[in-house]
Structures are given as structure tokens and as C-alpha cells.
Amino acid sequence: MADGDAAMDGELSGIHAVADTLGITPRTLRLYEDKGLIHPVRVGNNRAYSHRDIVRMRLILRGKRLGFTLREIQEFLDLYSSDAGNDEQMHALADRCRTRIDALNLQRQALEQTVAELEELEQTARANLCRSAR
């Protein structure tokens, strides 16, 4: 059984096996441990990660990919660990997601405008080149 599979069966996995499973570096795992987002157990001098730690890391990596701050990710992890039926917490999560969606939509509009301006500038430059080549 592979180390990643062992973690799924309730066993503990070492830092390198977990890093490989998640496609990250051991340094990244240590960073999130230092930030208090995961809590591997110690077996001698080695860190040992449970299935819960791996699930939390997947949530952390997803949060980072979605552009959330470490503070926001910690809040999401707290929600995940608590009663998911808590309406107040789910409203807060939904509001945070909406805020992020709105910010990304504004960025998309700005990018579309920038691309359009650059394409116009490129066309002008190419037209000038054609005229000067004649």
C-alpha cells in the first residue's frame, strides 16, 4: 500500500509522502503547520500526518487557489470543523464567497478592457508599419 493510501485508512504518513500526494513541497507543509492551520503529530523527530491533516491541506490549497487570505482560510477551516448546519456561519461563508466573486468579476472586466486597448494599439502599430514599408 502506498503512503498516501495508508493515510486514507487511518494510518499516519510522513511529510514527504504527503507532500508528494498533494503536489507540494515539505516546506509548504511546514509553513501551514507554523501558521497553525494543520497539526501533525510527532513521532520522534518526524512529523506524521493523519487523513484529517491531508483533508485540511486540500482545503487550504483550494482556498489559496481561490485567492483567499490565510485568515479567511482559517475561518473556513473552523467552519468545516464545526457544525455545518450553523446558518449564521454558512451565511458568513456565502457572503465571503460573493465578495470574492465580485472582486474577480471586476478584475475580469479590467483585464478585458486592457486586452482590447492593447489589441487596438497593436493594430495601429502594424498599420503604421505597413504604411512605412510602402
Query: Model pTM?
Result: 0.71
What's the DSSP call for residue 55?
H
Task: State the pLDDT at residue 49.
Answer: 95
Q: What is the DSSP letter of 85?
A: T
Q: Is 121 exposed, middle or buried (0-12, 13-18, 19+ CB in 10 A)?
A: exposed
Cα separation, 56 vs 53, in Å, equals 5
The CB density around residue 56, as the number of other CB atoms within 10 Å, is: 20
CB 51 within 8 A of CB 15: no
CATH class as words, domain 1-67: mainly alpha
Q: How far apart, in whole angstroms, are the C-alpha atoms of residue 72 and residue 4?
A: 28
Q: Where are the domains of the chain?
A: 1-67, 82-134
Q: What is the pLDDT along the chain (134 residues), one digit of tens a residue?
A: 344 444 445 689 999 999 999 999 999 999 999 999 999 999 899 999 999 999 999 999 999 999 899 998 888 888 767 665 677 778 888 898 999 999 999 999 999 999 999 999 999 999 999 998 87
